[in-house]
Homo-oligomer: A and B are copies of this chain.
Amino acid sequence: MRSAMRIGELSRRTGVPARMLRYYEEQDLLHPERAANGYRLYDAPAVYRVQQIRGLLDSGLTTEIIRRILPYLDQPDEIHPHPDCLTAEVAALLREEAERIQRRIDCLSRNRDAIHAYLAAVQRAGAVR
């Protein structure tokens, strides 16, 4: 097994304070191995996973929601964890969460557009100096 890193390196690679990586673990978002001496050991995909978590947190999702949907977000659309154990309730929950996310996207898109429209209008007026 190669490419295991400790918390410091993961922190450097992701820009996320080690303190937060421990917090995410406490929140059940990360599950690093442990070395014989108790040090946390992360595998390479953890980098991606942390970025994922950061992005979702920054986008206003709570750790609780992230914990719920994270298991279903693992890249490889191939290997799901037993899709047969997916109850109708979980499916409904995922659909609901996808909708909530969509609402956020719509809201942010509208505002991005408004900002761009404003900037364009100003520029057209040649008013920026």
Q: Which residues of B contact A127 (CB under 8 A)?
A: 83-84, 86
Chain A interface residues (CB < 8 Å from chain B): 52, 55-60, 69, 72-73, 77, 80, 83-84, 86-88, 91, 94-95, 97-98, 101-105, 107-109, 111-112, 114-119, 121-122, 125, 127-129
Please tell me which one of the listed residues B55, B88, B94, B118 contacts residue A80 in the complex, with CB atoms under 8 A apart: B118
Q: How many copies of this protein are present in the complex?
A: 2
* A84 contact from B60, B103, B118, B125, Cβ within 8 A: B125
CB distance from A18 to the nearest CB of B (A): 23
Main secondary structure, interface of A, reads helix
CB neighbours (8 Å) of A125 from chain B are 83-84
User: Given known contacts A94-B118, A94-B119, A115-B98, is B88 in contact with A128 (CB within 8 Å)?
Assistant: yes
Inter-chain contacts of A105 with B (CB < 8 A): 105, 108-109, 112
Contacting residues, chain B, for A91 (C-beta < 8 A): 119, 122, 128
